[in-house]
Amino acid sequence: MSDNDKADSGPDNCPPTVLGWLARIVSVALTTILAATIAYQAMSEDHEIRFETEIAAGDMHQQDGMWFIPVDVLNDGSRTAHSVDLELTVGAETTAITIERIGANETIRFVVMRQARSETVEHKVISYEAS
């Protein structure tokens, strides 16, 4: 047997097995997904925290002479806010509320009790912590 025959029959010259090909395909797929995720996050805009408020007029109801007015608070940013202090002005009365945590694009509903029905709401952000 010549030296060339020994070199051709060694374990280094065996073709890849199905398991070998599967490992390569999975590795390439995971690397591609990781690279795409990093590129997407680098190119996507990071919106600061913004709050919007709106009265859910369809869910308003009256009970025992008081109006229960649901107010939706939306974090329209791309970051989570913690310890949010807001002042909601519904009609002529102002109510202070605290939200422990509100995620990006998350809506939280508060119910405010008033003697008169109101269709308008305004808000003032007192403070919050961003994460």
**Domain 51-130 coded CATH 3.20.20.220:** no
Contact 100, 82 (CB under 8 A): yes
Does residue 46 carry a pLDDT above 80?
no
Residue boundaries of the structural domains of the chain: 3-43, 51-130
CA-based nearest residue to 130, from 49, 53, 41, 47: 49
> What is the per-residue pLDDT across 72-119, written as a single tens digit (0 to 9) for each?
999 988 889 999 999 988 888 898 999 999 998 999 998 988 888 888
Ramachandran region of residue 66, left (φ > 0), alpha (ψ -120 to 50) or beta? beta
Residue 55's SS3 state is strand
pTM of the predicted protein model: 0.61
